[in-house]
Structure 1
Amino acid sequence: MKNILAILLLISITLFSSSPVFARGGDFVHLIKGNGNAVKQNKVQNSSQAARIVRERVGGKILKVKHNGRSGYKVKLIKDNGHIINVTVDAKTGKVN
């Protein structure tokens, strides 16, 4: 009986140590792999999120959102006063420039 419990314990430890573990830390979500390396996800993951962030922080009407490589998104919008402006959204931080 003790041998069976020891074997089951060893199997469960092996299974749980090889599966990915999800944890939330700061503003980033980390995926910790079995080898101990962490993968950071971007705070802004698609053009819809970029548009929402710009609309909340800058206002106006979104005209166009373009993915700007790994660095982020370029958002073109028209302000209430008629001015057309371009802003960038950093994909990692969500910061609007």
Structure 2
Amino acid sequence: MADTSGLALLSENELKLVRDWERHLREIDDGVPPDAEEGAVPRPGYDPDRFTVRQRLAAKAAEMKALGFKHASAGTIELAQARVSGARCVRADL
């Protein structure tokens, strides 16, 4: 589990941005956002059984850019995923 102690230092807007990013990253991994209803099916482009990680990253980059996110290239999103995954791995080793 990632260390979330630093979240208390963020402004409300910064915290919203972090939560938005988390939601988008989870959709790439799981095919559906974390707040999806049970039994929800992945939206087009996000089904892990039908699309590669690279394809899902490209779809997410296009979506986030259309939503007005700055710095939302596939490479930036992949880097954010790696950082989150690394944090999870570090915590799992404790």
Q: TM-score range by the shorter chain?
A: under 0.3
Q: RCO greater where, 1 or 2, for CA within 8 Å and sep 6 or more?
A: 2
Compare CA radii of gyration and give the structure with the larger one. Answer: 1
Structure whose residues are more often strand by fraction: 1
